Amino acid sequence: MWTQLGEVPDDAVNFASAYVYDDNIGVIVAGGSNGGGYFSSAHRTIDGVFFEELADMPSALCCGCMVALDDDTVFLAGGKSYYITRSLSSTD
């Protein structure tokens, strides 16, 4: 049985997410959509209950693929937005 621990702050679905097996990183969710638009926001949680706001992505999108490269850098590729782009983004 699944148990809900918390809720992501934005009313969004279709996130890109990254997980690193490290208690200091936790889970990062970024972007998403709610049927009325796309989000550029990003959040991180260590425990699934409390979410910390991170820096916004350069553009709003949903359905991307994100992977953590190390403790300071995530890499995001793909996704959908209002504008079709062929760029890659990383943050550190």
DSSP β-ladder status, 73-77 and 65-70? antiparallel
Residue 87's alpha-carbon distances to 17, 75, 92, in angstroms, are 18, 12, 17
Nearest to 72 by CA among 25, 28, 29: 25
CA distance 64 to 49: 23
Percent of the chain with pLDDT over 90: 3
Residue with tokens 């890659």: 88
pLDDT in tens, 52-86: 999 998 888 888 888 888 878 888 888 888 655 55
* Segments making up each domain of the chain, as ranges: 16-91
